[in-house]
């Protein structure tokens, strides 16, 4: 009699990703593999357990009742595995190994990335990944170890530290001002604007711009600060942007003081089980140090002539 080899527990990750992300392609992106790999592992899992776990429908792939039952088990296995990983991470007494940091795109590129070589100089055995994304990744699943978020998380398993505030102001190109005059917050209805798209919701700066610019025409809406900056630089319209991103630009004019616009708060976030792990602790302290060092720039204080923002 041939012995059944049983299922590969690792294949449950692919089923769980499909359940939570809705399609083979989305599951593949999340798992950082190609779509064919996801399909192959799901086929192998169903062959090993001898029952259909997924089926095709007019809306795409969906789980069968047996698949939903398997997902419940997969979640329990994942929670146990990730919890064990966090416990074992604390066994390394050195500042060594990989730490994955996530932050919004402009924070990652403008504030963190320029300083990370200094952190590596301090701790040569430290390896870093910097993920630029506005998505609030799941720290409990170790999608990242450390996060900078522009809202305060409320999950009880997370430890948070307030980093400070990020100032915003209105900006336009010198050419726009020459052609249309200098916009003021109380005259935005007479101008064309550049702002956030509908994927950005509930932020204080977007609500402010929608209120003071009520009735104005938006020439561009985007979820990318860099796209908004490029449009403003090209003279397309008036944009509301973070001062730390724009004040280094030579071609843009600041149209109001930062205290006119509601600021954003920045928070440093880590899972409670990781906050005392030496390599994670080193990164947490360094990120907080960077924000302290960059505080004038973040508040929108203009740099002295000839002085690069963030320099000592």
> What is the residue extent of each domain of the chain?
9-89, 97-166+264-298, 168-260
The whole-angstrom separation of Cα 218 and Cα 209 is 11
Q: Classify residue 307 by its DSSP letter.
A: -
Domain 168-260: give its CATH superfamily.
Periplasmic binding protein-like II (3.40.190.10)
pLDDT for 100: 93
pLDDT for 86: 63
pLDDT for 305: 46
9-89 and 168-260 share one CATH topology?
no
pLDDT for 77: 79
What is the CATH number assigned to the segment(s) 97-166+264-298? Answer: 3.40.190.10
End-to-end, the C-alpha distance of the chain in Å comes to 74
The pair of three-digit structure tokens given for residue 197, joined into one six-digit string: 């798209």
Rounded to 5°, the CA angle 132-138-143 comes to 60
Bridge partners, residue 57, by sequence: 60
Q: Domain 9-89 maps to which CATH number in 3.40.50.150, 3.30.450.40, 1.10.630.10, 1.10.10.10? A: 1.10.10.10
pLDDT for 312: 46
The length of the chain is 312
pTM of the model: 0.72
List Cβ neighbours of 245 (8 Å cut-off, separation of 6 or more). 106, 110, 225, 229
pLDDT for 288: 96
The whole-angstrom separation of Cα 263 and Cα 281 is 28
Buried b (16+ CB within 10 A) or exposed e, 35-57: eeebbebbeebbeebeeebbeee
Q: pLDDT digit of tens for each residue in the chain (312 aa)?
A: 344 456 777 888 888 888 888 888 888 888 888 888 888 888 888 888 888 888 887 677 888 888 888 888 888 877 777 777 666 666 667 788 999 999 999 999 999 999 999 999 999 999 999 999 888 888 877 788 999 999 999 889 899 999 999 999 999 999 999 999 998 888 898 899 999 998 888 899 999 999 998 888 999 999 999 999 999 999 999 999 999 999 877 789 999 999 999 999 999 999 988 888 999 999 999 999 999 999 999 999 875 544 444 444
pLDDT tens digits, 109-158: 999 999 999 999 999 999 999 999 888 888 877 788 999 999 999 889 89
pLDDT tens digits, 148-159: 999 999 889 899
The residue to which tokens 């924070």 are assigned: 107
């Amino acid at each position: 009699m041939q012995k059944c080899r049983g299922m590969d527990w690792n294949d449950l990750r692919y089923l769980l990703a499909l359940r939570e992300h809705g399609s083979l392609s989305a599951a593949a992106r999340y798992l950082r593999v190609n779509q064919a790999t996801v399909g192959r592992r799901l086929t192998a899992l169903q062959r090993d357990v001898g029952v259909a776990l997924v089926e095709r429908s007019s809306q795409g792939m969906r789980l069968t009742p047996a698949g939903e039952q398997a997902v419940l088990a997969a979640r329990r296995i994942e929670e146990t595995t990730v919890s064990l990983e966090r416990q074992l991470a604390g066994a390394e007494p050195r500042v060594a190994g990989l730490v994955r940091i996530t932050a919004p795109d402009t924070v990652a590129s403008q504030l963190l990335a320029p300083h990370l070589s200094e952190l590596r100089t301090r701790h040569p055995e430290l390896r870093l990944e910097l993920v630029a994304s506005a998505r609030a990744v799941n720290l409990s699943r170790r999608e990242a170890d450390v996060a900078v978020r522009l809202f305060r998380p409320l999950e009880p398993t997370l430890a948070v530290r307030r980093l400070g505030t990020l100032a915003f102001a209105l900006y336009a190109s010198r050419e726009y001002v020459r052609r249309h005059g200098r916009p003021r917050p109380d005259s935005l209805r007479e101008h064309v604007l550049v702002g956030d798209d509908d994927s950005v919701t509930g932020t204080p700066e977007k609500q402010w711009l929608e209120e003071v610019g009520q009735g104005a025409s938006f020439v561009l809406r985007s979820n990318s600060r860099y796209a908004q900056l490029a449009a403003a630089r090209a003279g397309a319209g008036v944009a509301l942007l973070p001062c730390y991103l724009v004040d280094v630009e030579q071609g843009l004019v600041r149209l109001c003081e930062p205290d006119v616009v509601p600021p954003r708060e920045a928070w440093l976030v880590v899972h409670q089980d990781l906050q005392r792990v030496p390599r994670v602790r080193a990164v947490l302290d360094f990120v907080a140090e960077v924000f302290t060092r960059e505080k004038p720039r973040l508040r929108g204080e203009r740099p002295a002539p000839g002085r690069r923002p963030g320099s000592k």
